[in-house]
């Protein structure tokens, strides 16, 4: 009798050990499947990167950090989209400071993963990275150069650039053009991708997330956040009205400024939530300083839900798994 009991215990213990080595439980597999269906892994390559050469990247990287691209030689792309010392591609300010301390009217989004978005800027007014990069250099509250010709003349006079442009654009007679300059910056930006443990999880590594993080993922999916924040960037792929259910107070008319279509009033690009823990403050107006506050406001304005502290905490725990390097 005793021996039989011991045998049964022995068998069940080894069965448990065997099963736990067998891979994730049914629930975890189910969650992985849901995540992959609504979100998915960030692709390896950004669209357009096929034709990026090492020489073009090297030029683009130098230009990204080039303060001579601003009127007072004090501001580079990196001033507002910091990549140094583990920078997350933003300045963590509500509004950025450009030439002569001038402030813009919108929060600077991160440059990480930007090349995967449907379009650039909060209102999507630039169709791609190249079109985007033409903006800040000539924007009076950002880098404030008077016009494209002035930029080309200034950079064209700097001896260190002659060789770099020639290598990046071989076979062209006058490689220093505004289009080539922003095209090189765009190539460099196409290398700015993040890796995080949520993608490890989606690829099948059940241990990449702990149980609290999985619980958070489930809450994020169940609450309806993925109505808008979906696809590999957890956003970045559609435009939606801010204040869809309960109005949000803002003077910024969003995408209406681009399309002049009444239906686009207060419509913004749904931001990507990859790396969101690090890219505070939040919203186009940079008015929300904590992630928990952003989640609470999203629940109310976008879904008409009064989320409790517990759910907000769970969602924040999940969003933290989207932080990568
Ligand atoms: C003075 C600060 C400042 C400088 C300098 C600056 N940016 Fe920005 N950047 C911003 C702000 C603010 C926005 C958002 C503006 C908007 O949406 O209308 C933005 C938006 C962007 C976006 C769009 C991201 C998205 O999610 O839509 C990219 C990409 C970008 N900048 C790259 C650059 C590059 C490349 C340079 C250098 C050529 C540069 N920026 C210079 C402040 C700055
Ligand atoms: C109906 C669409 C929609 C739904 C549903 C939605 N969001 Fe958003 N979300 C947006 C839009 C649009 C913005 C940009 C707001 C702005 O322009 O200021 C945004 C912004 C955010 C931001 C700020 C990101 C940043 O970089 O500034 C966070 C965080 C966020 N959402 C999380 C959530 C969470 C969590 C949920 C679920 C509780 C959720 N969202 C539900 C559309 C939506």
Mean pLDDT by 10 residues, the chain (325 residues): 63 56 85 97 95 96 98 96 94 92 92 97 96 95 96 96 96 94 98 96 96 98 98 98 97 96 97 97 97 98 98 98 90
* Any atom of ligand 1 within 6 Å of the Cβ of 120: yes
| Distance from C-alpha of 195 to C-alpha of 66, rounded to nearest angstrom | 27
Residues 6+ apart with CB under 8 A from 324: 194, 195, 196, 197, 199, 274, 275
Consecutive H or E run containing 268: strand 267-269
Pocket flag, ligand 1, residue 121 (CB < 6 Å): yes
Q: Which of 158, 143, 150 is nearest to 75 (CA)?
A: 143
* pLDDT for res 193: 94
Who's near 76: CB < 8 A, 6+ residues apart? 64, 65, 66, 67, 69, 70
What distance in angstroms lies between residue 107's CA and the mean position of ligand 1's atoms?
A: 9
Q: How many CB atoms lie within 10 A of CB 100?
A: 13
Helix locations, 39-105, DSSP H: 54-64, 77-80
Q: Which residues are catalytic?
A: 142
Closest residue CA from atom 8 of ligand 2: 298
Task: Indicate whether residue 81 lines ligand 1 (CB < 6 A).
Answer: yes
> Is-contact 297 308, C-beta < 8 A?
no
Cα–Cα distance measured from residue 16 to residue 283, given in angstroms and rounded to the nearest whole number: 47
Predicted confidence (pLDDT) per residue in 104-156, tens digit? 899 999 999 999 999 999 999 999 999 999 999 999 999 999 999 999 999 99
Q: How confident is the model at residue 58, as a pLDDT?
A: 97
Q: Are 156 and 15 in contact (CB under 8 A)?
A: no
- On whether the CB atoms of residues 196 and 280 are closer than 8 A, the answer is no
CA 4 to centroid of ligand 2, rounded, Å = 59
Q: Domains plus CATH for the chain? A: 24-42+195-322 (1.10.760.10), 49-189 (1.10.760.10)
Is there an atom of ligand 1 within 6 Å of 109 CB? yes
Tens digits of residue pLDDT in 26-59: 999 999 999 999 999 999 999 999 999 999 999 9
- Helices 211-223 and 309-319: angle between axes, nearest 10 degrees: 110
**Residue of the nearest CA to atom 35 in ligand 2?**
295
CA distances, 272 to each of 118, 160, 289 (Å): 11, 37, 17
CA distance 48 to 223: 35
Give the three-class secondary structure for 240: strand
226 lines ligand 1 (CB under 6 A): no
CA of 108 to the centre of ligand 1 (A): 6
Ligand located closest to 308 CA? 2
What is the pLDDT at residue 15? 54
For ligand 1, the distance from its centroid to the CA atom of residue 112, given in whole angstroms, is: 11
Looking at residue 24, its pLDDT comes to 86
Cα 50 to its chain centre, rounded Å, is 21
Ligand 2 atom at minimum distance from 245 CA: 1
Residue 91 near ligand 1, beta carbon < 6 Å: no
> Which atom of ligand 2 approaches the CA of 225 most closely?
37
The best mutation among 81, 110, 258, 270 to test binding of ligand 1, ranked by most ligand atoms within 8 Å of the C-beta, falls on 81
| 279 CA to centre of ligand 2 in angstroms | 13
Beta strands in the chain (DSSP E): 239-241, 267-269
- Whole-number Å distance, alpha carbon 123 to ligand 2 midpoint, is 14
Query: Relative to the alpha carbon of 151, which ligand is closest?
Result: 1
Spell out which residues line ligand 2, taking CB within 6 angstroms.
Answer: 122, 223-225, 227-229, 240, 242, 244, 268, 270-271, 273, 276, 279, 282-284, 294-295, 298-299, 302-303, 315
What pLDDT does residue 16 have? 52
């Amino acid at each position: 009798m005793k021996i039989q009991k011991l045998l049964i215990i022995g068998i069940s213990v080894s069965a448990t050990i065997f099963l736990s080595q067998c891979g994730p439980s049914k629930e975890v597999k189910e969650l992985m499947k849901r995540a992959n269906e609504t979100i998915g892994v960030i692709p390896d390559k950004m669209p357009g990167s096929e034709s990026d050469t090492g020489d073009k990247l090297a030029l683009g990287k130098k230009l990204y950090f080039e303060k001579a691209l601003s009127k007072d030689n004090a501001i580079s792309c990196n001033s507002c989209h910091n990549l140094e010392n583990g920078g997350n591609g933003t300045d963590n300010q509500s509004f950025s400071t450009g030439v002569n301390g001038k402030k813009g009217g919108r929060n600077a989004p991160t440059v990480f993963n930007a090349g995967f978005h449907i379009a650039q800027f909060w209102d999507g007014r630039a169709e791609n990275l190249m079109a985007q990069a033409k903006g800040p250099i000539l924007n009076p509250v950002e880098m404030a150069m008077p016009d494209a010709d002035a930029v080309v003349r200034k950079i064209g006079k700097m001896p260190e650039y002659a060789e770099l442009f020639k290598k990046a654009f071989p076979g062209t007679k006058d490689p220093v053009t505004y289009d080539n300059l922003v095209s090189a910056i765009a190539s460099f930006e196409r290398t700015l991708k993040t890796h995080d443990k949520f993608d490890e999880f989606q690829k099948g590594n059940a241990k990449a997330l702990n149980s609290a993080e999985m619980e958070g993922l489930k809450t994020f999916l169940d609450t309806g956040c993925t109505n808008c924040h979906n696809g590999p960037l957890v956003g970045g792929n559609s435009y939606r009205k801010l204040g869809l259910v309960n109005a949000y107070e803002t003077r910024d008319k969003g995408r209406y400024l681009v399309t002049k279509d009444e239906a686009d009033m207060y419509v913004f690009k749904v931001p990507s939530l990859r790396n969101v823990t690090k890219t505070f403050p939040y919203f186009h107006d940079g008015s929300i300083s904590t992630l928990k506050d952003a989640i609470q406001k999203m629940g109310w304005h976008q879904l008409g839900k009064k989320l409790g502290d517990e759910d907000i905490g769970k969602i924040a725990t999940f969003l933290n798994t989207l932080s990568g390097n």
